[in-house]
A and B are shown apart, each in its own frame.
Chain A
């Protein structure tokens, strides 16, 4: 198991099962929430005080992409998440991400990232993100 440095960006090709990103912190502002809601088109009076739960997931994954150099052909194929506690706008959330699994079959790379979010030591959410990278033309199709 290795702790991924994050600086300079680690390569997606390097990461393996058990690797862990250095934890990082998210503090989501009212402006962040407004930009997210404007993009998704969602509106609810709850989001005047709280962070939409899926925005938390999106921002955590954004943090992952800031720290790991992902190939442009990477496809997000699956998402699982448990929401445990509402996060107030401006509250600090610590993000922990590790590589739960990594496999390659017929040249297709599948990686599952496990994410846990904490605020003041209490878990506010956890989930798993599955991504797939298909081989580029001409790349080996051998199973591994």
Chain B
């Protein structure tokens, strides 16, 4: 079997990110920055309203990689992303991973999160070890 064939397909993950979820992430993700909530700070920010936590959006990528790699994601995974645009709630966000290449037993994917309008919210790469 070619090494590339051993790389798992990473299924996309889609989730509604609404203010209720953002509020819950403030507790569950331990990020209480007021720009994420209905606060005066959010109202006077450059966005004029609350924005979702970047780590909440990135969680969709980690979820997709976990579904494909299982515990190998926690024990040899790598990710590197940059946020490109804020998520203004509510937004239906989809994490996508496309296989770029496989080398030395490691599969590298181009990853991104997009909203329902196709706007790229974050982009980067993720790697995971494949079965030898």
Interface residues of A (CB under 8 A from B): 35-42, 44, 46, 50, 52-55, 57-59, 61-63, 65, 70, 72-87, 130, 134
Contacts and interface: CB of A to CB of B under 8 A. Distances in A.
Interface of B: 15, 21, 24-25, 27-35, 41, 45-46, 53-56, 58-60, 62-63, 66-67, 70-71, 73-83
B24 A39 contact: yes
B59 A40 contact: yes
Contacts of A35: 24, 27-28
B74 A50 contact: yes
Contact of B73 (A42, A53, A74): A53
B59 A72 contact: no
A82 B81 CA distance: 12
Nearest to B62: A54
B82 A78 contact: yes
Nearest to A125: B74
